[in-house]
């Protein structure tokens, strides 16, 4: 676990990461439209990952490893029910699908899976954005 650098506030970093997550989601939708389902799965997952890291930024935390970021999010935000427990399962599934899409030679991504991953990312990003805005405006 690393502390954040002093190049802006925690809030600035949170907002930046949300914007990155939004761009990843746009990319996922674009890739879906050209029938690149593997790519869409990848970008949908990264939208989730950057949204998770936006939340961590508000706590002054940063994780280099995906598994650490997800594990700490699950521990601090899912188990404590700040975010709905069902999101924890969806995040873990999105990570597995992204990994398979990126690394398994014979993995066949399909349109329904890609659409589902994009929907999960979109809903998650909305929840994170709402949570972060409420924390920033405290």
What pLDDT, in 10s, does the model give residues 96-107? 999 999 999 999
Q: Residue 132 sits in which domain range?
A: 2-136
Rounded Cα gap, residues 6 and 3, in angstroms: 9
Question: What pTM does this model have?
Answer: 0.91
If one counts the domains in the chain, the total is 1
Going residue by residue through the chain (138 aa), what tens digit of pLDDT does each one get? Answer: 334 455 689 999 999 999 999 999 999 999 999 999 999 999 999 999 999 999 999 999 988 899 999 999 999 999 999 999 999 999 999 999 999 999 999 999 999 999 999 999 999 999 999 999 999 987
Q: CB 58: neighbour CB atoms within 10 A?
A: 17
Rounded Cα gap, residues 18 and 16, in angstroms: 5
- Looking at residue 11, which CATH number applies to its domain? 1.20.120.330
Q: What is residue 6's predicted lDDT score, i.e. its pLDDT?
A: 56
What pLDDT, in 10s, does the model give residues 82-96? 999 999 999 999 999
Smallest Cα–Cα separation from 121: which of 36, 27, 58? 27
């Amino acid at each position: 676990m690393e502390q954040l650098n002093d190049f802006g506030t925690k809030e600035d970093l949170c907002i930046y990461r949300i914007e990155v997550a939004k761009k990843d989601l746009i990319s996922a939708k674009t890739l879906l439209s050209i029938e690149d389902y593997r790519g869409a799965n990848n970008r949908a997952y990264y939208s989730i990952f950057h949204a998770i890291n936006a939340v961590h930024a508000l706590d002054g935390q940063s994780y280099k490893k995906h598994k650490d970021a997800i594990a700490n999010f699950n521990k601090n935000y899912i188990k404590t029910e700040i975010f709905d427990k069902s999101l924890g399962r969806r995040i873990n599934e999105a990570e597995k699908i992204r990994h398979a899409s990126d690394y398994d030679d014979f993995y066949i991504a399909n349109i329904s899976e890609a659409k589902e991953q994009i929907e999960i990312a979109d809903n998650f990003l909305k929840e994170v954005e709402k949570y972060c805005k409420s924390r920033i405006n405290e």
